[in-house]
Amino acid sequence: MKKSISILSLVVLFFLSCKKSDTVTSPTENKQTETTATSGDPLPSWNDGALKKDIIAYVEKVTKEGSPDFIPVEDRIATFDNDGTLWAEKPYVQELFAFYRVKKMVEANPALAQKQPFKAVVEKDKAFFEKGGDKALIELVAATHTGMTEDEFEASTKEFFAGAQYPGKNVPLKQIRYQPQLELLNYLRANGFKTFIVTGGTIELVRAISADFYGIPKDQVVGTSFKYKFDDAKNAVLREPALDHFNDKEGKPVGIQLHIGQRPVFACGNEGGAGDLAMLRYSSGSKYPSFQLIVNHNDSIREYNYQEKDNLSLNTAAKYKYHVISMKDDWKKIFPDK
Amino acid sequence: MKKSISILSLVVLFFLSCKKSDTVTSPTENKQTETTATSGDPLPSWNDGALKKDIIAYVEKVTKEGSPDFIPVEDRIATFDNDGTLWAEKPYVQELFAFYRVKKMVEANPALAQKQPFKAVVEKDKAFFEKGGDKALIELVAATHTGMTEDEFEASTKEFFAGAQYPGKNVPLKQIRYQPQLELLNYLRANGFKTFIVTGGTIELVRAISADFYGIPKDQVVGTSFKYKFDDAKNAVLREPALDHFNDKEGKPVGIQLHIGQRPVFACGNEGGAGDLAMLRYSSGSKYPSFQLIVNHNDSIREYNYQEKDNLSLNTAAKYKYHVISMKDDWKKIFPDK
């Protein structure tokens, strides 16, 4: 039952994020040159200010041998949420993928277009999902993401990412990454940090692009997972239509323990769905000096402007003294040029 | 129910391995100098022969750029079982740890010594576990490995490894590692392979020593895990008395998919409990040239001599042309000097 609710939350999240924002500008409007971290400034797309100074001061103090704040390399674990933290989440890429899968499946088997819940997707009948109840939604995720081998799933993600464009922007998905975060990842790695993605999205979808988009290997992605089963005759791992782990909220420290085995000393999430608070709190319990960071989506011109109704993430950040990124003020540039 | 059976299998395995072998020799009897892989020969503790030649030929062909056999660095995934593959398994270290925990818990609460299943451990009453049924065994594992935070569990593993000696040998546990395998791990890493431990043992116990013993970071250990729960008030991950994943046999490809996200191209296990066959088979399905290796414990003088009753692992190796390590013939030296 709990699993059903989790699948439902996941799907509801997809659909709630369907509303297109009219405040999005094309990344081609960001005329500044894309710079890399090879110059003197490791974070060229970050505006000079207190936050940038704090990040650099933290990294310098914990990597200085002999300092009381020194963190051994093997314990320099940095975790980043993905949706809304490393790339845009309006809409979720996961949702685009689910729709893509429906399209492909209907092409292969046109009769599906007459069957719910495929019919509703084909006909863009959002009301069906809003009102249709758990069953249809769970069936949609199960039908589009499971019931195949991992090799088949991987092939379908490759196809999807090769052709997908982001709605409203009409750019490849690589261009909805946040340039300042790419620099931050590079900067941390250059200082001996091991960088992980800890996403509420499904783990293999993110693994499909983690190395190419973020320089993060597949095994350093922690995410929502389905139940797997090894089939000796096929010599393949099958993904079954049942959720194994929902990697959001309290699920994030659990996923971190299972995959990483230790607390991150640097953790970064975003406000919007309060999905990263448990990860940030877990990080703050490290025995080492730690750094917590939250992206605040307050840039209606260059990205989006959205806040939680109860402001939970920002209130929690204030309570525990987490650092908050004001996209509007702290980021010189939002998206990379390519 | 399935979970109970799995816990039972785990515990039964512990206890079945209790019989002390009288064929063990002290590693101090291995007089050869401990060498490292820095000389011309990357595998100095391996005897020259067909197997050593095959390993080196494989590594050379898949790392040669432009060759049709070339494997990109990000896909050079090597997985090693631990018990009986990287260190001795007679008895399992996991079993020593469970006994150590009982001792500690009884010291802290002497009344436990009168309570089963602690009483049976304190009084070395093996018959109790052989005859006592599931309940007592499951209670023992639950009581000794769970019901605490991950930080507390980690502290207890540190204490254990600092003092533990291997029965029959009276050496620290570091000296039951296999020197030739340490060289093989180093050799693979020097050639761009990412090395993982994929163990039937519990994940955190192996993580406690993976970096120090094998040069493998915590997040590159895949193992049997309990259910976790994040407790916000304590800001800690709690381990609950329920198995989440039993990482043996068909569980190994599942653990690999979840943690690594791709098939290993190099996989090494051992015969003895047929626990590694699914992992080796999964590896053999790689789209790249792959290498499967099984340790055959046939060295009654320097290590142990034990085979599966049905010879399943060695028969499967012959069927699929996996490589077999004859400890007696292929390894010049078994244990490191320190």
For the segment A55-85, what is each residue's pLDDT rounded down to a tens digit? 999 999 999 999 999 999 999 999 999 999 9
With respect to residue A65, please indicate whether it lies within any of the assigned structural domains.
yes
- Nearest CB partner across the interface for B260, out of A219, A230, A258: A219
Q: Do B211 and A253 touch (CB under 8 A)?
A: no
Is residue B158 in some structural domain?
yes
Averaged pLDDT for residues A199-228: 96
DSSP A49-102: SHHHHHHHHHHHHHTSTTSTT---GGG-EEEE--BTTTB--SS-HHHHHHHHHH
- Residue A24, pLDDT above cutoff 60: no
Number of domains in chain B: 1
CATH number at residue A154: 3.40.50.1000
For residue A25, being part of any structural domain is answered with no
Boundaries of domain holding A313: 7-20+33-330
In a domain, A118, yes or no: yes
What value of ipTM does the predicted structure carry? 0.88
Contact A262 B194 (CB under 8 A): no
Beta bridge partners of B325: B295
pLDDT level of residue A136 (50, 70, 90 thresholds): low
DSSP character for B38? T
Tell me the pLDDT tens digit for each residue of B153-162: 999 999 999 9
The pLDDT of residue A37 is above 50: no
Helix (H) or strand (E) holding B163: helix B150-163
* pLDDT (mean) for B266-271: 98
Contact B258 A203 (CB under 8 A): yes
In a domain, residue B149? The reply is yes
Identify the band that residue A36 occupies on the pLDDT scale cut at 50, 70 and 90. Answer: very low
Residues of B whose CB is below 8 A from A251: 230
Between CA B196 and CA B216 the distance in angstroms is 7
Instruction: Tell me whether residue A153 is in a domain.
Output: yes
User: What pLDDT was estimated at residue B134?
Assistant: 57
Specify the pLDDT at position B166.
96
pLDDT given for residue B10 in this prediction: 44
* Residues 6 or more apart in contact with residue A83 via CB below 8 angstroms: A89, A92, A93, A94, A199, A200, A201, A270
Using one digit for the tens of pLDDT, what is the confidence trace for B212-246? 999 999 999 999 999 999 999 999 999 998 889 99
Say yes or no for a CB contact (<8 Å) between A236 and B196: no
In a domain, A75, yes or no: yes
Distances (CA, A) of B96 to B91, B161, B164, B208, B278: 8, 10, 8, 15, 27
| Rounded Cα gap, residues A169 and A163, in angstroms | 14
Torsions phi, psi for B282 (to 5 deg): -60, -45
Which among B235, B261, B281 has CB closest to A282? B235
Residue A179, in any domain of the structure: yes
For residue B308, what is the DSSP state?
-
Element (H, E) at B223: strand B221-231
Q: Per-residue pLDDT averaged across B15-21, rounded?
A: 35
Query: How confident is the model over A321-333, as pLDDT tens digits?
Result: 999 999 999 999 9
User: Does the CA dihedral B303-B309-B313-B319 come out positive or negative?
Assistant: positive
Across the range B109-134, mean pLDDT stands at: 85
Average pLDDT, integer, range A4-25: 37
Supply the pLDDT for residue B12: 40
Which residues of chain B are at the A interface, by a Cβ-Cβ cutoff of 8 Å? 74, 77, 150, 194, 196, 203-204, 207, 211, 217-221, 225, 228-230, 232, 235-237, 244, 250-254, 257-262, 278, 281-282, 284-285
